[in-house]
Structure 1
Amino acid sequence: MRQAADLPTPFPLARGVPGVLLDAGALGDLLAAFDQVLAPALATIDNIDAYLDPDLTPADFLGWLAGWLGIAVDDRWPAEHVRRVLRHTPELLRWRGTVRGVLAAVRVLAEVEAEVIDSGGTQWSPRPYGIPPGSRAPLLRVRVPRDADLRAVEAAVRGAKPAHVPHRIETG
């Protein structure tokens, strides 16, 4: 790994100072020290597009990138899983709060296929004054395989469903 001292700066500060001042003492050494300190920041700024790409960003930056997008990262996840989650983040955010969004979140974050049953939380009847089917109370039921990581499923569902809707996770 390259050290900060090895990074060349694309804009040496000494270029902007008249040569007569560089020969007159320690100013050249001071500017070189500033160049050494600023080189990592300039390299980061010059490569900001790579930091925003989940496939190119350094592993130690993945948590920051996920945080900017509102994705909670589990510390136990390997870097490749975090990268996969970040690649799917546009889909997760687009469908957040819907059955489709809960299904996608469980599939991507918990890595299991689920079945989501939404009570709808509304009632209606096709006939005037008819008995409405369904339930007024909203409820989201999520069925996952027995071997699913329930903690990961719980976190995925909580992040994807509307906050006011209670949920229940079932195995089977």
Structure 2
Amino acid sequence: MRRLPLAILAIALLVAGCDDAGASPAAQGSTAPAASAGGACQLLDFGMVNAKLGLDLSVAAGASLDNTFTCVLQAKGVSYPDLVLAVSSTTIDADVFGDMIQPKNATAVQGLGVAGYQMPTPAAGKAGPGVEVGWLAGNKRIIELSLRFAPGTPDQRAADAVPKVVELAKLIDLSSL
């Protein structure tokens, strides 16, 4: 997979350090945004995310490094499922995005930013299967949204989550204008 190394580094650092320590919990069923966690969490709202994905995420951790902002949402007390959002400023166009950023095995998503893709992600390491959606927003930002399930989760659950994550991505894209 071809990626933006900075975005991957920021996501890896954020996910590796995400637990209840230092995270900003929200009340269960809260409709308040996760924005108080900083980073890309300013684009997420627990109520919206949970309604779209059918999850109960309530802990947020945000970070920023250079021009990349990240956010991880998790359920209290567990590592998975988790939702990771990364946003990086860019000067590239849709052609460069398709050639250099979008993974070769991804499927294009119509109606998401200037160019968008979706793909299932296999279980790896301590994480179960998941979904990745990425796009080049109209405001010159590369945005990646990924959902990972717990180890042992059937691949079909991740496959069933693809359209839900795409719909969430479309809502995030509208809020990032």
Q: What's the TM-score, normalizing by structure 2?
A: 0.28
Greater strand proportion: 2
Structure with greater contact order relative to length (CA < 8 Å, sep ≥ 6): 2
The structure that has the greater radius of gyration is 1
